[in-house]
């Protein structure tokens, strides 16, 4: 059955620490065996990292589908191999005294749906391997472009050679690539100097916990108190209540009918729903059309034990 350590945890990751090492530290603090995260933050970046605990690891694809909001600083005039401060310098260019309004106009041109090529130093798979592993060996990696959505972009400050922006973007967007593209558009090249993730969907970095050094027992208490239960991890998803008997049957693999769930097709048609028992998440459900029987039926997609 679900424990009070099944859920998600909002962590404000420090610079210099990898997402993997942050998860490893949380596992050690809580004494849990199963944990992961919903979206990597590069070691140089800071901000919101959603750590998944126990059965919470089953939420990864749902949480990663959320839009993300970032604060970013672009350094113009310097291009690096990784498009960030950790790479080797490839080219430098003098940065002229650009008009801030001109800089803003060019950056606002990235608003909306754009084509973007992921960085060679990324976890995207290329010929069956992670691209960064091949790039580190000096193998040329040419990843395919993908369409991403920049739903909001705002220039906060222009202090050449640095430009500070805030943006909201779709899953799969690489801010490093965007920084390089901004530099190219302005004719001087550039890279991502600093990055901070401000939010993921409804979750904000202001509500996250920093893993400061300290007594392990004290840290364990602090972390335990901040775990968000599974049922609250997707607050925008509709809910369908079931009793204890039905919850147990679903967890054993039973596929219920609408009549058994006391649900109305019109309320949940073609959408995913949380099946809950009180404050406990039981499963995810979606309506599907049964062509043989000529009607819409519920289908259990994922069960939480």
Q: How far is it, in rounded angstroms, from Cα 187 to Cα 214?
A: 48
- If you write DSSP's letter for every residue of 170-216 in order, what string do you get? -TT--HHHHHHHHHHHTTS-EEEEEEEEEEETTEEGGG-B---S--H
Contact 192, 45 (CB under 8 A): no
Q: Do 230 and 278 meet the contact criterion of CB atoms below 8 Å apart? A: no
Tell me the per-residue pLDDT of 105-161, one tens digit each, with 9 for 90 and over.
Answer: 999 999 999 999 777 666 666 566 665 665 566 666 676 778 999 999 999 999 999
- 42: annotated active-site residue: yes
Alpha-carbon span 192 to 82, nearest angstrom: 9
pLDDT digit string, tens, across residues 1-54:
566 789 999 999 999 999 999 999 999 999 899 999 999 999 999 999 999 999
User: Domains plus CATH for the chain?
Assistant: 7-65+202-232 (3.30.2350.10), 68-200 (3.30.2350.10), 238-303 (2.30.130)
Give the model confidence (pLDDT) of 188-228 as tens digits.
Answer: 999 999 999 999 999 999 999 998 776 677 778 888 899 99
Among 6, 42, 236, 243, which one carries the catalytic annotation?
A: 42
pTM confidence score: 0.89
pLDDT confidence of residue 118: 73
């Amino acid at each position: 059955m679900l424990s009070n350590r099944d859920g998600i945890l909002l962590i404000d990751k420090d610079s210099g620490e990898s997402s993997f090492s942050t998860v490893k530290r949380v596992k050690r603090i809580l004494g849990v065996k199963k944990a992961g995260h919903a979206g990597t933050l590069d070691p140089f970046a800071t901000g919101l990292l959603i750590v998944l605990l126990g059965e919470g690891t089953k939420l990864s694809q749902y949480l990663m589908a959320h839009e993300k909001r970032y604060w970013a600083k672009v350094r113009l005039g310097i291009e690096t191999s990784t498009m960030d401060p950790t790479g080797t310098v490839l080219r430098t260019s003098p940065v002229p005294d650009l008009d801030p309004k001109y800089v803003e106009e060019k950056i606002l041109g990235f608003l909306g749906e754009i084509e973007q090529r992921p960085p060679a130093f990324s976890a995207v798979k290329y010929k069956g391997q992670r691209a960064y592993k091949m790039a580190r060996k000096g193998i040329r990696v040419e990843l395919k472009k993908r369409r991403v959505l920049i739903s909001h972009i705002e220039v906060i400050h222009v202090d050449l050679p640095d430009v500070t922006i805030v943006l909201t973007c779709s899953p799969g967007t690489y801010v490093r690539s965007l920084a390089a593209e901004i530099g190219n558009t302005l004719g001087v090249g550039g890279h991502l100097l600093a990055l901070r993730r401000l939010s993921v969907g409804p979750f904000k970095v202001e509500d996250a916990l920093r893993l400061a050094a300290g007594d392990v027992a004290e840290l364990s208490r602090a972390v335990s108190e901040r775990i968000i239960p599974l049922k609250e991890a997707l607050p925008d998803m509709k809910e369908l209540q079931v009793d204890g008997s039905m919850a147990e049957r679903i967890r054993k693999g039973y596929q219920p009918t609408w009549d058994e769930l006391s649900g109305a097709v019109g309320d949940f048609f073609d959408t995913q729903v949380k099946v809950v028992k009180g404050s406990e998440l039981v499963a995810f459900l979606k309506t599907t059309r049964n062509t043989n029987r000529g009607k819409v039926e519920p289908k259990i997609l994922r069960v939480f034990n």
